[in-house]
Structure 1
């Protein structure tokens, strides 16, 4: 049997190995590290408060109304916490599972467009891409909305391919569920992609196909009831959610998240690591973009490029930019990369010197990580080497093995198979580093110290900031001093009265007959020293937070 040929049994074993590795990569580690502030604390506390209050209509954060995001992920996280307990692993089940689903949906689309082997390679590429694994490892909303966008576009494609309009039921359901996850973006981006794809390919019948009454009805059945109920319970929800959080956030710098228009270019490049070295091959003369094999293949490539660029341009034009926003770009890019590598296999040569370029990129990454370890604020060199040893092993020894396999066999398929193993080892190492970052940015440790000496009736104050994970780990509401931030809207409601105080009110509380804990990070040490001279002991607490107490 030649190196090119695998038996049916070997193919099934290889596919099973990749699938099991993907599931393990995203699920095994979710209990291993504490909640990372600020995002994980926020998106864990809201469902915890839903369970505590029994109110599953109005989201609340630290006891006040919080309308920045819709309800679906809160519901699912609350369900997970009910089953698995109120702990870190339970709140990460939703992003981890949706990450795995997003990978398999993307692989399914690759199978529909290309071949089974392209689908398997697509799954491996997307699963081990740095940005995908980073976002799939923390409890934020971006992975779920990405998965629903992928589902809507894959089912649209399948509906067009099979000419079976029932697939559009799933497309509309996905957009409705995305609406309940992160708002109107779940409609704007998929329909924008479909619109431009229709223009580029001149398939005007798309309009007739997707205006599908049963799908539209299903969309409203799924998407409208919660919005109706929350608007009935909260008269100011509509303006805050639809006007402020959608139009003003996109069009203005209201959230102070402005980045230059080119911000997402390096984010996509780094987000696709360790596969970025294969990107140049996409644009060669015989690459999959410039050299299509049929009219159907050309339309497929246009669909993937339209998907990528509509998302990329939309967010690049926004005045509000965060790294996870660009996550939906990774699915079409992973398919294009897999198809490009498969083209190299077919041609029996590396297009654009893909292996060489990728290897150099990996070695540069190792050098950059070593440099970063000597300059990082909260990760030292020892922690990076100790926790992330798999990264260094995979990108040095592992990569050397890959190169040796290529030099010995000259078989691109065998070489890529070996690199897939390296990529999974790299991703596993990345998980360890991710966990170490969480250890340096968590309220878990300060909350544990407070719980050891806390008594009924004691008051905990978060000073100069709202420390997101503190209420979750203390299982109670905290007073917020000299800060409003994202809680400003809720603080003006009756539910916020007495829970937001200034420095003078904090001093009165401190001097009262109540036992008071004040929690703060190192940036607030100078302000705390002015308010409470000689109260801060010289220490560097694990997790990045200090606390003082007015009486023992």
Structure 2
């Protein structure tokens, strides 16, 4: 699995390094781009797609709107990132997701560079392979949002300041602060806050280590050396440049629109939410539940790798990685606002830990006797076997989700999984581990292509929106409205050039029903209230997101039409 050449950390990059990087980036590109447009928008993806489209239609790139209503929920750059990929074909599912795909590929490259810088070529390569085959990282790298842009920014900042600093060139400090400034306008100042917290934690740990080794002599000089990124002349100058760019990006929307909403958003969404969360409140221990899920299929190997860290030996490399991992975890745990995907920046840290532990287990004599790593590899090898059996069972047991690829891929995955398990049990760890990586890559590739097509069979929003668009094409603007619809993806697929009228309460709905031929889009959850308030004959159900007698969900959309008079 590992290349023969394994240069020491810190050496100049060789052809082997660049070749490994090219393989990782190419593999990530194949995996993340495959079937990218086959899945219809889901969840909050619609917001990014609609806002980018309305920016392009209006020509106003400083005032994000959804259905013509100002929507300052996130800073502007994550919306702007979609625009260059939409110039020729308009905003599509693919163009809305491309920024995150590129960010995912960039994060894989950064993780390789960090792993190589800390431990050498082979651990860096393993870390990159683990990261790109981690299911949730791949999923979010193919999702229109600001999440992976945030992850890329955090790890880029950590990479730029990797290693001790008085000898760093000025451009490293400058890149650190410029990345901090720009990333503040993707998802707010979260990325620089996390990166700075991790850097401070590393500096403090190294300070304590130096004091333990050398005593308190020359403490002032040690502080300056460790915190050079903010205390040296180069660091201060770079920080001023970063602050200038931050101020420009912060106040430019205010200057262009005359509205202070962008500044208020920055304060509310990042400072207030961290200290006094007003939503997404979960228990402080919730990330202990989410992390194992977000590491699938490498969860068990992640546990084994953590146990194996004690065999690495001492050194600043292990301290750096352990400190960064703990700092990121504590940052999100101490925040009162918690959601599962907030922990995404921790996945690259675990990929680095797994990559280093796996490389040591496979290639270093004093580490290859680790029972934790062997047990973790054996358990991990069962995952593709189970996945292959599930594919075959799905083909024969669930007719609605039957696809010919299941009976082709399933047996192949089972056979390859059994082979990987055989190799690992027989202590042939290198071919066994190589086969596992290839299997997980193949399973994800199937999931993002054929699996996506299968999953789309049960989703009716896109065809429903297209049917609605066809029915209301010749209807006047005043005769079409929506009530209680919060689904931005519906607005995206409706693809109207002008905003759709939004009714605010049932009184308006009943008044709207007074005109014959009026079309109203609403959710199943509001049907009972409309019928009670306006009468059972005020509207007729014409279209539903769950047609054919399928099970109705509360948030399924429905098209109602006011009957024409006699």
Q: TM-score, normalised by structure 1?
A: 0.83
Return the alpha-carbon distance in structure 2 between the equivalents of residues 502 and 391 of structure 1: 52
- From the superposition, tell whether residues 293 and 415 of structure 1 become closer, same or farther in structure 2 (CA, over 3 Å): same
| Greater Rg over alpha carbons, structure | 2
Q: Is the 8 A contact 2:160 2:172 kept in 1?
A: yes
Aligned to 1:548: 560
1:262-273 pair list within 5 angstroms: 262-273=285-296
- From the superposition, tell whether residues 80 and 9 of structure 1 become closer, same or farther in structure 2 (CA, over 3 Å): closer
Return the alpha-carbon distance in structure 1 between the equivalents of residues 485 and 149 of structure 2: 28
Query: Are 1:35 and 2:37 counterparts?
Result: no
Aligned residues: 519
When structure 1 is superposed on structure 2, of 64-73 and 204-213 the one drifting more is 204-213
How much does 1:238 deviate? 5.6
1:65-214 pair list within 5 angstroms: 65-157=70-162, 160=165, 163-202=168-207, 204=223, 205-211=225-231, 212-214=235-237
- From the superposition, tell whether residues 391 and 371 of structure 1 become closer, same or farther in structure 2 (CA, over 3 Å): closer
Q: Is the 8 A contact 1:479 1:500 kept in 2?
A: no
- From the superposition, tell whether residues 136 and 548 of structure 1 become closer, same or farther in structure 2 (CA, over 3 Å): same
Return the alpha-carbon distance in structure 1 between the equivalents of residues 377 and 420 of structure 2: 11
- From the superposition, tell whether residues 32 and 154 of structure 1 become closer, same or farther in structure 2 (CA, over 3 Å): same
Return the alpha-carbon distance in structure 2 between the equivalents of residues 251 and 32 of structure 1: 40
1:371-520 pair list within 5 angstroms: 381-382=398-399, 386=403, 389=406, 396-407=414-425, 410-432=427-449, 433=451, 440=458, 443-454=461-472, 455-458=474-477, 459-476=479-496, 479=500, 499-512=502-515, 515-520=518-523
Q: Is the 8 A contact 1:131 1:272 kept in 2?
A: yes
Return the alpha-carbon distance in structure 1 between the equivalents of residues 262 and 508 of structure 2: 33
Describe the SS at the equivalent of 2:297: coil
Q: Is the 8 A contact 2:382 2:421 kept in 1?
A: no
CA RMSD in angstroms, aligned pairs only: 3.6
Return the alpha-carbon distance in structure 2 between the equivalents of residues 12 and 231 of structure 1: 44
- From the superposition, tell whether residues 150 and 434 of structure 1 become closer, same or farther in structure 2 (CA, over 3 Å): farther
Return the alpha-carbon distance in structure 2 between the equivalents of residues 11 and 170 of structure 1: 23
Greater RCO (CA < 8 Å, at least 6 residues apart): 1
How much does 1:128 deviate? 0.9
List alignment gaps of at least 5 residues for structure 2: 7-13, 208-221
Q: Is the 8 A contact 2:424 2:432 kept in 1?
A: yes
List alignment gaps of at least 5 residues for structure 1: 375-379, 481-498
Return the alpha-carbon distance in structure 2 between the equivalents of residues 216 and 135 of structure 1: 31
When structure 1 is superposed on structure 2, of 302-311 and 64-73 the one drifting more is 302-311
How much does 1:470 deviate? 2.1
Describe the SS at the equivalent of 1:517: strand
Q: Is the 8 A contact 2:112 2:128 kept in 1?
A: yes
Q: TM-score, normalised by structure 2?
A: 0.81
Q: Deviations over 1:224-255 (max 9, x none)?
A: 22321223434441663133222332233422
1:332-343 pair list within 5 angstroms: 332-343=349-360
**Which residue of 253, 274, 278 maps to 1:230?**
253
- From the superposition, tell whether residues 524 and 382 of structure 1 become closer, same or farther in structure 2 (CA, over 3 Å): farther
How much does 1:537 deviate? 6.3
How much does 1:308 deviate? 1.9
- From the superposition, tell whether residues 460 and 402 of structure 1 become closer, same or farther in structure 2 (CA, over 3 Å): farther
How much does 1:440 deviate? 4.7
How much does 1:382 deviate? 4.9
- From the superposition, tell whether residues 532 and 35 of structure 1 become closer, same or farther in structure 2 (CA, over 3 Å): farther
